[in-house]
Amino acid sequence: MAGSGIVCQHQGEHTLTMPAPLTFSLASDVSKPRHGSLITVNRFTYCPFCATSLVERTLYGQDRPVCPACGFVQYHDPKVAVIALVTHDERILLVQRAIDPAKGKWSLPGGYMDAHERPEQALQRELMEEVTLAVDVRQLLDVFPMVLPKGGSNGIVLAFHATPADEQQVALRCQDDACDARWFLPGEWPDELAFASTEALLARWQTGWRPTS
């Protein structure tokens, strides 16, 4: 087989050839990763390209996991979530969470964006997955920090206004990570609310504020 590398083969499986580790000066070459970089949340222990143990190096002003063999750099990405203030007449849709975080509490529906999704597409998918409701996504209302239980933030929450795609089809059927869902008039929503973003948008609605579209 042409070229050098590490050949891995298991009984009944295809042969997999991994590229041999590259050697170069970390001080001079780490700013130009040979195998590129990955944006992730959890810290890698080993390089995903050459399996070398990663080391911490100060790069671009922060300590980052770096591969001393091939120059791979791991960046920790912010998560992006989307939520919807879904309105029908004067009612707002809230879902009761079936899973942690905030299991049993009520929130605006939404969830994480998948790769290659637009925010509006992610929101429509989440509404269909959670309560089987088709919606029209209208305007961006706000951007909130995704606050961690112990403080700090690991992402952002994009809050949109949405309305049912068919005003005659507003029945809700819970599935996925929602165990209950209801339409609430102002002031009727439960006391046990999840997430600061839900609390902030409901508080605005309570004062008489309404989305412009």
Encode the chain (213 residues) as per-residue pLDDT tens digits: 333 333 333 334 433 333 343 333 333 344 444 444 455 557 899 999 999 999 999 988 889 999 999 999 998 888 899 999 999 999 999 999 998 889 999 999 999 999 899 999 999 999 999 999 999 999 999 999 988 767 677 789 999 999 999 999 999 999 888 999 999 999 899 999 999 999 999 999 999 999 987
Asked if 86 and 182 count as a contact pair (C-beta separation under 8 A), the reply is: no
Q: What's the confidence (pLDDT) of residue 38?
A: 52
Domain boundaries, the chain: 5-76, 79-206
Alpha helices in the chain (DSSP H): 26-29, 119-131, 196-206
- Residue 74 half-sphere exposure, CB side, CA atoms within 13 Å? 22
Q: What's the confidence (pLDDT) of residue 201?
A: 97
Q: What's the confidence (pLDDT) of residue 41?
A: 59
Q: What's the confidence (pLDDT) of residue 169?
A: 92
Q: What's the confidence (pLDDT) of residue 25?
A: 37
CA-CA-CA-CA torsion sign (110, 44, 65, 15): negative
Question: What is d(CA 25, CA 37) in angstroms, rounded to the nearest whole number?
Answer: 18
Q: What's the confidence (pLDDT) of residue 28?
A: 37
Question: What is d(CA 211, CA 128) in angstroms, rounded to the nearest whole number?
Answer: 22
Asked if 2 and 14 count as a contact pair (C-beta separation under 8 A), the reply is: no
Question: What is d(CA 168, CA 213) in angstroms, rounded to the nearest whole number?
Answer: 19
Q: What's the confidence (pLDDT) of residue 187?
A: 86
Question: What is d(CA 127, CA 149) in angstroms, rounded to the nearest whole number?
Answer: 25
Cα-only R_g, the chain: 23
Q: What's the confidence (pLDDT) of residue 154?
A: 78
Tokens of 165: 């795609």
Q: Which residues pair with 26 in a beta bridge?
A: none
At residue 64, φ and ψ (nearest 5 deg) are -135, 150
Question: What is d(CA 68, CA 30) in angstroms, rounded to the nearest whole number?
Answer: 8
The CATH T-level fold of domain 79-206 is Nucleoside Triphosphate Pyrophosphohydrolase (3.90.79)
